[in-house]
Amino acid sequence: MTTQADISAEIAALAGQPGEQPRKDYPPYRSSVLRHPAQEPVLADPEGVELWAPAFGHRDVDDAEANLTNRHPGEPIGERMVVTGRVLDGQGRPVAHQLVEIWQANAAGRYWHQRDQHPAPLDPNFTGAGRCLTAADGTYRFLTIKPGPYPWRNHGNAWRPAHIHFSLFGTDFTQRLVTQMYFPGDPLFDLDPIYQSITDPQARNALLAAYDHEVTAPEYSTGYRWDIVLTGSHRTPFEPGEAP
């Protein structure tokens, strides 16, 4: 069986190469081998709908969906925390009134998902999925439980660093992003081929939340801040109301 030492050697061999994005062809993440395009992407000017993002609103998302801790009769087990920050486009402008979706493991590192076979307890008071809309200044905010690290079967004794999955939309279609937010100082970072598939350490750091005492609640929750800058096409977007 492939060991962590084998995977760590493969990670080291590919480390440090420049690039804002993960390498899609990244053999240390074994599931990528048959699922990455071998051809280079074709450059395209965004056209038509690609110049716009889908619209979401309060008909789609209830404010209560930003709280992952009160979906069940009891309190979930674990470190209660606020996760907040701003969603910005590539020019630093806020992405306002747009959809943010998250999903995560519970405090024991177990997902509420039938394919998760990790023999850690499910928490009957924690499902682990939430949504919200950004405010006018791009701010999103969730109340949740700090997820635990969990094992997976990429190689022998493989563990994922603790993370929250994030799904984001921007002001146009080209900014669509699904990623993972990590916690500072996780000892599993160097061992994880998914995190290390972003071979540029500066780019990798953009997925790190920071503990922020300002967003904690006294005698209630800790708090983390993570600002998310989207990329996509580098055009100047249309002003609202300019729809074709």
Partner 1 sequence: MIPAPGQTVGPFFHLGLPYAGGNELVPPADPAAIRLGGRVLDGDGHGVPDALIEIWQAGPDGKVVREPGSLRRDGWTFTGWGRTATEADGSYWFSTYAPGGPVPFFAVTVFARGLLDRLFTRAYLPDPDPADPFLAALPPARRATLICAPQPRGLHFDIRLQGDDETVFLAYR
Q: What residues numbered 72-101 form the site for partner 1, per CB under 8 A?
A: 88, 90, 92, 99, 101
What is the footprint of partner 1 within residues 147-186 (CB under 8 A)? 165, 167, 173-174, 176-180
Q: Residue 97 is encoded by which pair of tokens?
A: 């009134």
Q: How far is the CB of 146 from partner 1 (least distance, A)?
A: 17
Phi, psi (5° rounding) for residue 99? -80, 135
If one counts every other C-beta atom within 10 angstroms of the C-beta of residue 184, the result is 11
Q: How far is the CB of 210 from partner 1 (least distance, A)?
A: 14
Q: Which of 1, 13, 136, 243 binds partner 1 (CB under 8 A)?
A: 243
Q: Indicate whether 124 belongs to the interface with partner 1 (CB under 8 A).
A: no
Q: Residue 121 is encoded by which pair of tokens?
A: 């307890």
Give one DSSP letter per residue of 134-151, joined into a string: --TTSEEEEEEEPPPPEE
Q: How far is the CB of 66 from partner 1 (least distance, A)?
A: 13
Q: Which stretch binds partner 1 (CB under 8 A): 7-15, 74-82, 141-149, 195-203?
A: 195-203
| Residue in 26, 80, 86, 111 annotated catalytic | 111
Q: Indicate whether 136 belongs to the interface with partner 1 (CB under 8 A).
A: no
User: At 94, which amino acid appears?
Assistant: P
Q: Indicate whether 143 belongs to the interface with partner 1 (CB under 8 A).
A: no
CA distance 150 to 160: 5
CA distance 76 to 68: 9
Short-list 4, 8, 36, CA closest to 21: 36
If one counts every other C-beta atom within 10 angstroms of the C-beta of residue 39, the result is 5
Q: Indicate whether 42 belongs to the interface with partner 1 (CB under 8 A).
A: yes
Q: Indicate whether 141 belongs to the interface with partner 1 (CB under 8 A).
A: no
Q: Which of 16, 73, 119, 244 binds partner 1 (CB under 8 A)?
A: 244
Q: Which of 4, 8, 14, 23 binds partner 1 (CB under 8 A)?
A: 23
Pairing status of strand 80-88 against strand 228-229: parallel
| Residue in 23, 97, 165, 225 annotated catalytic | 165
